[in-house]
Amino acid sequence: MTEQCPVLMEVLAQIPDFRQSQGRRHPLQAVLALSVCAMLCGYRSYGAIAEWGRNYGKALTQALGFTHQTTPCAATLNTILRHVNKAEVEEKLGQWAEGVLTSVAACAAELEGVAVDGKSLRGSRKQGAPGAHLLSALGHRLGLTLGQAAVGDKTNEITAVDELLASLVLDGKVVTVDALLTQRDLAQTIIERGGDYVMVVKGNQPTLQEEIATVFAQPQVIADTLSSGATLEVGHGRIEQRRLTASTVLAGYSDWPGLAQVFAVERQVTRKSSGYERAEVVYGVTSLGRERAGAEQLLELVRSHWHIENKSHWVRDVTFDEDRSQVRSGNIPQVMAALRNTAIGIMRLAGETNIAAACRRFAAQPWSALALIGIKQKTE
């Protein structure tokens, strides 16, 4: 049974205001709602967001929750976003995304994948902003960012991933990671939290990589443990073939935590214009047994992992110009990134596939943007 989808406007009201009540001109809920709606309309910087708020008149201003006739100027908006509690913002937005994921039920046979990967805020990083590399978790199915955590300047993603996973509901989910995060401790944590994993194995785990390569070097010996699935895609001037072969032969023998299957993904790309071919083989491990995930499902999980690049990171860079943003003070780089994630997620949830085109449409119809966060236009 599908539950009621949480309303973002109500979630924004739960974020505590850091300011004293005396002299507080603009409600925090209204400021955050303004920021998300402006981003839905394609406005990128806090200066542009402030400008957007003054473009549409009194009715829209009041609908957002402002009690004065004008919305915040750029300096005020900067001050608020710089000092608001970033942990509270990320926690509440993550809870909203998790609630949406629960309310929009998947089909019974579909595995709920969560991709974990990092992204640098390059412009902010050049300006010396702390924590300008963020580790994010994105749901495969709906394209919603479920959480993010800053990677300390003197650490790496391996250190930050525990903090990120602690903020997520892992029970019943499949966490997908690239080779950097293929670590024993992470695999153990995911299993203990009730989740499963699909991990790519490369040179940072040489022993495991060699074991898997040895398995697939003589397929005739382990034929009864094998299953395979394949895809073929033609488009953008190329032909791309993928084949995943999985084996259960190491289950019960490998000391890798929770290992149930190992797999090899063969990928071949042919350029139609030149006939040039490029091929590669990537190995991996998963805690999913064959009864829960056959080769075709594993291949889909591996491919869907890159949704975090295509549906989130790329959109943040190209549509929202995130890499050129040079905000660096206080919490603003991380808060702005969390709000961008939410705006993109809302549009994905609404069925938008071309985010840039959706932003242009919302800019022309701003009340449509307000409707997505739970604000209805009053009729006379």
- The mean pLDDT of 199-214, rounded to a whole number, is 96
163 in helix, strand or coil? helix
CB atoms within 10 A of CB 21: 6
Per-residue pLDDT reduced to its tens digit, 291-329:
999 999 999 999 999 889 888 888 988 888 887 765 656
Let me know: does 138 contact 309? Beta carbons within 8 Å: no
Q: What is the mean pLDDT of the chain?
A: 90
Per-residue pLDDT reduced to its tens digit, 16-28:
999 888 778 999 9
Give 154's pLDDT tier (boundaries 50, 70, 90): low
Four-point Cα dihedral 245, 144, 322, 318, nearest 10: 60
State what percent of residues in the chain have pLDDT above 90.
71
Asked if the model's pLDDT at residue 187 lies above 70, the reply is yes
Residues 61, 354, 77: CA angle, nearest 5 degrees: 30
| Residue type, position 271, single letter | R
pLDDT at 125: 46
Let me know: does 105 contact 62? Beta carbons within 8 Å: no
- The mean pLDDT of 193-210, rounded to a whole number, is 96
Closest C-alpha to 372, from 27, 40, 60, 29: 40
Per-residue pLDDT reduced to its tens digit, 239-255:
999 999 999 999 999 99
pLDDT at 335: 93
Per-residue pLDDT reduced to its tens digit, 243-286:
999 999 999 999 999 999 999 999 999 988 888 889 999 999 99
Its pTM stands at 0.90
Cα dihedral across residues 210, 213, 215, 217: positive or negative:
negative
> Which tokens hold the place of 186?
């992470």
Strand order in the sheet with 277-286: 145-151, 133-139, 112-120, 173-177, 196-201, 277-286, 261-271, 238-247, 226-235
> Which tokens hold the place of 20?
């004293």
Asked if the model's pLDDT at residue 138 lies above 50, the reply is yes
Long-range CB pairs of 305-308 (<8 Å, 24+ gap) are: 305/113, 305/115, 305/117, 305/140, 305/176, 305/177, 305/178, 305/198, 306/115, 307/115, 307/138, 307/140, 307/143, 308/115, 308/116, 308/117, 308/136, 308/138
Regarding predicted confidence, which is higher, 156 or 231? Answer: 231
Give 235's pLDDT tier (boundaries 50, 70, 90): confident
